[in-house]
Amino acid sequence: MKLAAIVGPTAVGKTQIALEVAERLGGEILSCDSMQVYRGMDIGTAKASPQDRARVPHHLLDLVDPGVNYTVADYQQAARELIQQLNQRGVLPIMVGGTGLYYQAVVDNYHFLPMPGRREVRRRLEEEADLSLAALFERLRRVDPAAARVIKPGDRKRIIRALEVYEVTGLPFSSFQVRDRNAYRLAAVGLFTERRELYRRIEERVDKMIEDGLVEEVAGLYRRGYDLPLNSMQALGYRQVLHYLKGYTTLPETVAAIKKETRRYAKRQMTWFRKDDRIKWFNVAEYKETGYLVEKICDYISRTLENHVE
């Protein structure tokens, strides 16, 4: 089955370029963003607008309410079914986004094996996390460096789960994932730009999100009962705005914190995607005309899919 992908750090310009690529290639877009699956989280996740969705069909958006714990395994299954359906219709599926684990779980067809748990172990780890999540993360780095590379230091739930599996089985959490790099005929493109320019774009994006009503969006979710430590509310921007709404920070401090964390996240995204040697990288700053960049990307995807060796 054919599969194209356009990945890269946040704010690099993936959305608009992907729209033009999809139109030229007759493709449809599969969102590859772990937070765009949640309904009502539109501004802070930079979800495709109704106008964008009218131009090109988008999938894997607005799948569940923010109170649902939507996992990478759930995403993988939904993406796999869509890729098969689109291929059967002769339509090219194009994954677009920046969530590295979601991308990798699909393109490498991770096999998520059943992982045992034990309630008393989890309860103890929860108590330890209350005292120091940083200490738990350091423990994870010692016993399972591979898992620690893909789990964020602040991701309480996944840190606890990884350590729980290790304590119950004696095996690293990362060892329970089996990969298949030949799952699809893949043409993957990565977009990047010089760091200073990317950081400028990030700051502009955050300012626009505030202007467009991010605070009001989070306040509405909070009034409906969505709060930390829900996975959805850990999203960039949402966590910081919740702290503001609770009076822990001022609005300028909140905006500064969102920008800082987004810059850090963009750096982690590049570190993740750079490890995949199948990705063909394009520096968006080298192309004054977006149309020429789109043309180069379309040519690369078409040639790669045509020349793919089974």
Q: Which CATH number covers residue 267?
A: 3.40.50.300
Whether residues 192 and 284 share a domain: the answer is: yes
| Residue 77 tokens, joined | 């299954």
Looking at residue 282, its pLDDT comes to 96
Whether residues 20 and 169 share a domain: the answer is: no
Whether residues 106 and 124 share a domain: the answer is: no
Looking at residue 181, its pLDDT comes to 73
Q: Tell me which residues of the chain have a pLDDT lower than 50.
A: 309-310
Q: Taking a C-beta distance cutoff of 8 angstroms, is the pair 15, 46 a contact?
A: yes
What does the DSSP 8-state code read for residue 233?
G
pTM exceeding the 0.85 threshold for the entire prediction: no
Whether residues 202 and 265 share a domain: the answer is: yes
Whether residues 171 and 244 share a domain: the answer is: no
Within 10 A of 303 (CB to CB), how many other CB atoms are there? 11
Give the integer Cα–Cα distance in Å for 37 and 47: 9
Total domains in the chain come to 2
| Residue 210 tokens, joined | 């505030």
Looking at residue 72, its pLDDT comes to 87
Whether residues 106 and 19 share a domain: the answer is: yes
Looking at residue 178, its pLDDT comes to 63
Q: Is 309 helix (H, G, I), strand (E, B) or coil?
A: coil
Whether residues 191 and 81 share a domain: the answer is: yes
Whether residues 252 and 139 share a domain: the answer is: no
Residue 45: name the closest of 106, 96, 108 by CA.
96
Whether residues 72 and 183 share a domain: the answer is: yes
Range(s) of the domain holding residue 82: 2-110+179-306
Whether residues 128 and 269 share a domain: the answer is: no
| Burial bucket for residue 157 (CB in 10 Å: 0-12, 13-18, 19+) | middle
Looking at residue 263, its pLDDT comes to 96
Cβ contacts of residue 24 below 8 Å, gap of 6+?
294, 295, 298
> Which residue, 159, 178, 197, sits at the end of a domain?
178
> Which residue, 146, 161, 178, sits at the end of a domain?
178
Looking at residue 213, its pLDDT comes to 97
> Which residue, 157, 178, 199, sits at the end of a domain?
178
Looking at residue 71, its pLDDT comes to 87
Whether residues 220 and 104 share a domain: the answer is: yes
Whether residues 158 and 257 share a domain: the answer is: no
Give the integer Cα–Cα distance in Å for 296 and 288: 13
The enclosing domain of 174 has a CATH number of 1.10.20.140
Q: Angle formed by the axes of helices 238-245 and 251-274, to 10°?
A: 160
User: Which stretches of 113-253 are assigned E, i.e. beta strand?
Assistant: 177-178, 185-192
